[in-house]
Structure 1
Amino acid sequence: MRKDWKSALYSYVNQFNRTEVDYRQPADQVVVTDLDHVMRKSTRMHMLKEWYQARESTPLRNETRTKLLRTREGEGEVVVDLEFQTRRIYEKRHIAHVEERLEQERITLNKDGDMWIITRIEQNIPERHPEERRTEKEEIVTNPEQQTSEHIPSLPLLNTDVLGMPKSWRAKPYARERAVQYADQWWNGNNPEFLAFEVDCTNYISQCLVAGGGPIHYTGKRETGWWYRGMVNNQEAWSYSWAVANALNNYLNHSDSYLQAVPVERPTDLQLGDVISYDWDGDGRFQHSAIVTAFDAGGMPLVNAHTTNSRHRYWDYRDSYAYTDRTQYRFFHIMDYF
């Protein structure tokens, strides 16, 4: 019988790690009375089993490192914020693959007699969160050729030294490998030269695109172009397309100069450095962005993303609590030359 809430929490963390690859309930299972969580977990575990089978993959093991972010102790109750850094190792066609990600949960424990039980588990699903700083203007997408030349500077407004990029902005190929290198370098952190947003997925993707040579399209208007200036006169200065998933989706779907992309039909049409937009509810508003950084043994794309920081994650996100059966994707092949 557990008399220490930390022992109960330790058992839960151990259970969290094991159930990612072993769907049987462990013998030392901690008591969880949050039935909503129990049902979500059960549904997800069943889905994961089918998901791996459909991918012709076999989970081998899961490695979890846990960080205690915050603890609030009261009389007979403890609320803990945990961060899980997981490495999921699975096999496909006799080749081992490694996926990494950061996830957060808030655990509420209550004392029940001489033992501690878990009464509530809240998953942080940031890729589903409404993006902040959104206004109706983000929906306006202006054809780049309609911009007046007075808004376009002769030099980029990013410090190219930050990304180790060449000084010339003449027409050049998209350096896909450099975009991927940047994505892997910063998948689990924020480049201090850039603002970090609470919903950071598209800001991160934009940085990756610039690292690969994507040309800034400065208009001076937040609802048009694709640009970033950081803090100017104590105010954030960036276009919606730089940091808002739906706006970047609109920009890539309409741009015919500067940064350009072609929508493709299938994930297998994508290459390294290409972009996927995610519409969880199928309502036409895209809420998440990811960049292709690798391929599995079957040629399916693996992606990096922020907000739920992920590296080499399977592209369809079916293992995310954000996923629904209405989820729609848009696949963007970034043009080879700008």
Structure 2
Amino acid sequence: MEDWLNFLQNYCNAVQQCWVDGRWERLQPLGAVPDAGARQRELWMREQEQYLDRGAEITAVQGDVVPLYWLESNGRVQVEFAWHVRQLYRLHGTDLVKETRRQQRMAVIRQGTGWKLDWIEPSPDGEMNTAVLNDSDAWLEMNETEEGMPLPSLVHGSKGYRADQAVAYAEQYWNSANPAFPHFTDDCTNFISQCLYAGGIPMLFSREKGRGWWMRPGKSASWSYSWAVAHSLYLLLKSGGPPMRAVQKRSPEQLVPGDVICYDFDGDGRFQHTTIVVAKDANHMPLVNAHTTNSRMRYWNYRDSTAYTPNIRYAFFHIQGM
């Protein structure tokens, strides 16, 4: 009898092949019913169309599937798994790689001597809502000021913004968490703040979470809303004030590596996601790194996101520093 783990791997392999050749009909025999996984399949097809719209061709896809936890009961298995996908593609003669770590849930049922897909759900892209604090040994040591305000032992000076250092940090930690900082379930803005800090943007401290831009790691970690909440960081960037001195740009082509993009997926005025530009493609369009759905060299417009809607709005910010 086919093991459900083999089915999971084979299903993901089939999806990876579909990205290359566009033969999405190969997934239909793997479903328990004809429309099993239809919503997820539409999202994957939209991702492939995004490449075509850019004039790019996917040449190969590699993936590693790791089951995280699962429940087996009466010929049915529900599993949550991590899927590290590397999409190799060519754009105007240049070879590029996009990487994502996708966390998904799947249910499979036993039929005959094998397994079939019942349903599959994507993980969301979104803003911070829950903090997951690591072991206390993982935090930066804390110092107390005379006023009793804790500060990180690492202090940055206000000597401008080193975009190259911000990009280097984004590349180093795009698929992992720096143990010196808290890690959140929805980690996108926390990650971008860390990148900006690594680029030399100094923390702007306050005793109020609604003011400044700061993170105090430790056993009783605390942070400003602007450090970890997408809309709050957007408002700080839009203000043009310290510590980023951001300048809003009209189009993505005007951005350079180290700049920031904010996303309002629903177009309702509240921004829910944040990314950092790490490169430009052959069309001079940004490629970004991000957390939540951990992504490297992802195309900036997020049409391949589960949160994408036709009403999406973007805000483009060039970071100057103090």
TM-score, structure 2 length as denominator? 0.88
Aligned to 2:230: 245
Does 2:152 match 1:158? yes
Task: Map 1:22-41 onto structure 2 (within 5 A).
Answer: 22-24=21-23, 25-26=25-26, 29-33=29-33, 35=35, 37-41=37-41
| Cα distance change of structure 1 residues 253 and 75 upon mapping to structure 2, 3 Å threshold | same
Distance 1:63 1:84, change over 3 A: same
After TM superposition, give the deviation of residue 287 of structure 1 in Å: 0.5
3-state secondary structure, aligned to 1:26 = helix
Measure the CA separation in 2 of the matches of 1:323 and 1:152: 47
1:132 pairs with 2:126:
no
SS in 2 for 1:177: helix
Q: CA RMSD in A?
A: 2.4
Q: What's the CA shift string for 1:70-121, capped at 9, x where partnerless?
A: 1211111111111110111111110001111100111111123443211111
- Matched to 2:186, the amino acid is V
Q: CA deviation at 1:303?
A: 0.4
Q: Tell me what 1:324 maps to.
A: 309
Task: Please give the alpha-carbon distance, in whole angstroms, between the structure 1 residues aligned to 2:203 and 2:285.
Answer: 30
Deviation at 1:331? 0.3
**Partner amino acid for 1:37?**
G
Q: Give the drift of 1:322.
A: 1.4
Higher mean C-alpha deviation, range 186-195 or range 24-33: 24-33
Question: For residues 58 and 223 of structure 2, what CA distance do their matches in structure 1 show?
Answer: 41
8 Å CA contact 2:40–2:121 kept in 1: the answer is: no
Residue identity in the other structure for 2:213: W
Q: In 2, Cα distance between the equivalents of 1:56 and 1:112?
A: 41
* Kept in 2: contact 1:225–1:241 (CA 8 A): yes
Match of 1:64 in 2: 63
8 Å contact kept, 1:152–1:217: no
How far apart, in 1, do the equivalents of 2:201 and 2:17 lie?
A: 42
Give the secondary-structure state (helix, strand or coil) at the position aligned to 1:277.
strand
Q: 1:122 to 1:152 in 2, by over 3 A?
A: farther
Query: How far 1:23 moved relative to its partner?
Result: 1.5
Deviation at 1:11, TM superposition (A): 2.3
* 1:185 to 1:34, Cα distance in 2 relative to 1, 3 A: farther
What's the secondary structure of 1:219's corresponding residue?
coil
Spell out, residue by residue over 1:277-319, the C-alpha distance to the aligned partner (whole angstroms, 9 max, x if none).
Answer: 0010000111000000011111111000001001111101111
Residues 124-273 of structure 1 correspond to what in structure 2 (within 5 A)? 124-125=123-124, 127-128=125-126, 131-132=128-129, 157-160=151-154, 169=157, 171-231=158-218, 234-273=219-258
Residue equivalent to 2:95: 96
Q: 2:140 is matched with which residue? A: none
Equivalent residue, structure 2, for 1:287: 272
1:62/1:89 contact within 8 Å kept = yes
Equivalent residues of 2:213, 2:224 under 8 A apart: yes
In the alignment, the residues of structure 2 paired with residue 301 and residue 43 of structure 1 have an alpha-carbon distance, to the nearest angstrom, of 21
Shifted more, 30-39 versus 316-325: the winner is 30-39
SS of structure 1 residue aligned to 2:69: strand
Q: Which runs of 5+ in 1 are unaligned?
A: 135-150, 161-166
| 1:35, distance to aligned residue in structure 2 (A) | 2.8
- 1:214 Cα offset (Å): 0.5
**Identical aligned residues as a percent:** 39
- The change in CA–CA distance for 1:298 and 1:186 in structure 2 (over 3 A counts) is same
Are the counterparts in 1 of residues 15 and 27 from structure 2 also a CA contact under 8 Å? no
Q: What amino acid sits opposite 1:309 in the alignment?
A: N
SS of the counterpart of 1:51? helix
Q: Conserved in 2, the CA contact under 8 Å of 1:152 and 1:219?
A: no
Native 8 Å contact 1:11 1:29 kept in 2: no
1:13 counterpart letter in structure 2 = C
SS at 2:159 equivalent: coil
User: Which residue does the alignment assign to 2:74?
Assistant: 75
Q: Tell me the distance in 1 between the aligned counterparts of 2:285 and 2:95.
A: 14
**Alpha-carbon deviations, 1:13-71, whole Å to 9, x = none?**
211211222211338942243836314413641x3444223211111111111111112
The answer to whether the 8 Å contact 2:234/2:271 transfers is yes
1:298 aligns with 2:275: no
